[in-house]
Amino acid sequence: MTTDSLTQRLLDIEHRLAHSERMTEDLSAIVAKQAAEIAMLNQKIAVLTQRLKESGGSWEPSPRDSEPPPHY
């Protein structure tokens, strides 16, 4: 192999590494954001569950609950 081809291969590898590092950082940010959203949603579910327990389970289904959805 010539020096030029080795240099080009090294540049290609560096480019791929930089791209991989950027993708890893982007994915890490996405995962962190989703973790925060999941935590918030779990908190909301806990609040709603508590409210339902406090209501004594007096929820009554409406007649519309037994109707099939409009796309049927």
Mean pLDDT by 10 residues, the chain (72 residues): 91 98 98 98 94 77 76 72
The answer to whether residue 22 sits within a structural domain is yes
* Total number of domains in the chain: 1
The answer to whether residue 32 sits within a structural domain is yes
The answer to whether residue 19 sits within a structural domain is yes
Task: Tell me the pTM.
Answer: 0.62
Tokens at 45, concatenated: 């579910």
Range of the domain at 13: 1-41
**H helix or E strand, kind and range, residue 70:** none
The answer to whether residue 49 sits within a structural domain is no
The answer to whether residue 26 sits within a structural domain is yes
Q: What is the pLDDT of residue 55?
A: 83
Rounded to whole angstroms, how far apart are CA atoms 58 and 54?
9
Q: Cα–Cα distances in Å, from 57 out to 41, 49, 53, 66?
A: 22, 10, 6, 19
The answer to whether residue 18 sits within a structural domain is yes
The answer to whether residue 58 sits within a structural domain is no
CB 56 within 8 A of CB 49: no
Q: What is the pLDDT of residue 59?
A: 66
